[in-house]
A and B are shown apart, each in its own frame.
Chain A
Amino acid sequence: EPEVTQTPSHQVTQMGQEVILRCVPISNHLYFYWYRQILGQKVEFLVSFYNNEISEKSEIFDDQFSVERPDGSNFTLKIRSTKLEDSAMYFCASSVPDRGSYEQYFGPGTRLTVT
């Protein structure tokens, strides 16, 4: 069964460094998302992406964040200068707008630890 994959599974970085989190969405999906989950808290929306541009972003997704679909398969989240509070699980999700589908499928996540 097709699934969303994410790499790396765990990333440790120093404060101020840039990180790039990578995702491969399900191949026939058209909408892509990033969410994050701080330890012990709920999952929070960061950004949605469709047709090579951002559809919507949350207040969390400030100028330090960017997303890109560099080729036909990858979808990346870049944090330009990481802060301690960026430590969280980051989940990529994808969906296909078929027959009114709202269903988003999540990857296994990347645990980002900023020291």
Chain B
Amino acid sequence: GQQLNQSPQSMFIQEGEDVSMNCTSSSIFNTWLWYKQDPGEGPVLLIALYKAGELTSNGRLTAQFGITRKDSFLNISASIPSDVGIYFCAPAMNRDDKIIFGKGTRLHILP
């Protein structure tokens, strides 16, 4: 069956540090989405990637769609306290298809 691996599972960083997380899959996908979830809330879309090799930024966030279409990474530069939360990669195969969520990367920022 389809395998989706997201790493790391959790990260503890100092405010101001850069962060990197990634997802790999056993299957190819046509899109990679990245969501952030705050405690007790729904996932919020951060970045959407549509083309293999595409590099997209949204403020301090940068994400790339791997050229093999089986992976993606998300970088956060100069982390701030409100970056705390769980980040999910969420690839999909077809437009309006279900999204498959990774297990998430829980980001903690140390005081």
Q: Which residues of A contact B (CB under 8 A)?
A: 4, 31, 33, 35, 41-45, 48, 50, 55-56, 58, 91, 93, 95, 97, 100-109, 111
A103 with B43: CB separation less than 8 A: no
A103 with B42: CB separation less than 8 A: no
For A31, the chain B residues whose CB sits under 8 A away are 96
Interface band, chain B: 20 to 34
Across the interface, A43 reaches (CB within 8 A) one of B31, B40, B50, B88, namely B88
Across the interface, B45 reaches (CB within 8 A) one of A55, A58, A103, namely A103
Q: In the assembly, what is the distance between CA of A101 and CA of B97, in Å?
A: 10
Q: In the assembly, what is the distance between CA of A2 and CA of B44, in Å?
A: 13
Knowing A43-B88, A43-B101, A103-B48 touch, does A91 contact B42 (C-beta < 8 A)? yes
For B48, the chain A residues whose CB sits under 8 A away are 102-103
For B43, the chain A residues whose CB sits under 8 A away are 43, 91, 106
Q: In the assembly, what is the distance between CA of A78 and CA of B72, in Å?
A: 35
For B101, the chain A residues whose CB sits under 8 A away are 35, 42-44
Knowing A42-B103, A42-B104, A103-B33 touch, does A109 contact B96 (C-beta < 8 A)? no
For B88, the chain A residues whose CB sits under 8 A away are 42-43
Closest A residue to B50 by beta carbon equals A100
A102 with B97: CB separation less than 8 A: yes
Give the 10 A-B CB pairs with smallest separation, nearest first.
A106-B42, A45-B98, A43-B101, A102-B31, A31-B96, A42-B101, A42-B103, A106-B43, A108-B42, A102-B92
Residue interface bits B87-102, CB-to-A below 8 A is 1, else 0: 0101010011111111
A57 to chain B minimum Cβ distance, whole angstroms, is 9
Q: In the assembly, what is the distance between CA of A73 and CA of B22, in Å?
A: 37
B36 to chain A minimum Cβ distance, whole angstroms, is 11
B44 with A106: CB separation less than 8 A: yes
